[in-house]
Amino acid sequence: MKKLAILLVVALVAAAPFVVGGYETNVLMNALLYVILATGLNLVAGYCGQFSFAQGAFYGIGAYTTAILSRDLGTGFWFNFPVGIAVAGLFGLLLGIPALRLKGHFLAIVTIAFQTIVYLTLSQWTSFTGGQTGLPVPSIGPVSLFGTTLFEITSLRSYFWFTLVIAVILLFAVWRLLQSRIGREWIAIRDDETLASAVGLDTTRGKLTAFVGSAALAGAAGVITAHAMRGVTPDDFTIWISATVVAMMIVGGKGTFIGPIIGAVLLTSMPEFLGGFAEYKMFLFGVLLVITVTLLPEGLIGRVRRLRERFS
């Protein structure tokens, strides 16, 4: 039943480009990318309880890895994708190390400092990253197997479908991860770290895997974005991207699988419903974040679940 519902939703989303125009398809594509980013953040912040404001940095690391690889080695998507994920994951490991010693405020500040360092490096190290103007990235182009071209990824629609496939695969992997032992261990670390080690869990490994997984997902989104946008600039990976991803996770409900997905879709599409007030987008994100944290700390999904429990 549940499987059927999920299939139906995916099929509906896949059919969307036939119904809506190019602009809306673009919005949907963005929503998919943010779903990946918010789900990634949720691993480390929602499940493992280690707050991070650096998701935008890992997103940028994935994207710039792609751009630099295609510039210097002329490699294409299928090479860049795993490498981009791995490089982002590696930086995730790096940021995870402070998390072994720091908690709460102090960890949050380190992640913000990290995000800022990455942004400043992308924008200032002109000889390597292209500085403020950024770098061009070629399209994914034809996808071939054993010498025959299967299909070509250049149009917006093809990018959308391609991103959808990748997003579904990644979300499924995350779902499996959360159902497995490691997911349970992350929750244990979040709930009570002392107790987690007392029952024999290696909390160091647990936290590091959460950071790596979270960063790897952002890296994946970054690689796709770089190819889809045909280029990267540092301003696509500012701390405001991180803030947006945090807002999505919090509004939807951190520590639930579906919450950040809903939050990402909601906040990406919200500006479209604002009509002439679309420029108020970031302002409203901010207000929404304050209101949610203050009045609805468990997020939409968390609240819905609690209400349902109360009535059953």
Q: Which residues bind other proteins (CB under 8 A)?
A: 51, 53, 98, 101-106, 108-110, 112-114, 116-117, 120-121, 124-126, 176-177, 180-182, 184-185, 187-188, 190-192, 194-203, 239-240, 243, 246-247, 250, 255, 279-280, 282-283, 285-290, 293-294, 297
Nearest approach, Cβ of 174 to other proteins (angstroms)?
A: 10
Nearest approach, Cβ of 55 to other proteins (angstroms)?
A: 13
Neighbouring C-beta atoms of residue 297, cutoff 10 Å: 12
Nearest approach, Cβ of 78 to other proteins (angstroms)?
A: 22
Task: Indicate the residue among 59 and 114 with the shorter CB distance to other proteins.
Answer: 114
Task: Indicate the residue among 69 and 99 with the shorter CB distance to other proteins.
Answer: 99
Task: Indicate the residue among 80 and 256 with the shorter CB distance to other proteins.
Answer: 256
Task: Indicate the residue among 94 and 229 with the shorter CB distance to other proteins.
Answer: 94
Nearest approach, Cβ of 132 to other proteins (angstroms)?
A: 11
Task: Indicate the residue among 289 and 300 with the shorter CB distance to other proteins.
Answer: 289
Nearest approach, Cβ of 9 to other proteins (angstroms)?
A: 23
Q: CA 103, 105, 110, 114: dihedral to nearest 10 degrees?
A: 120
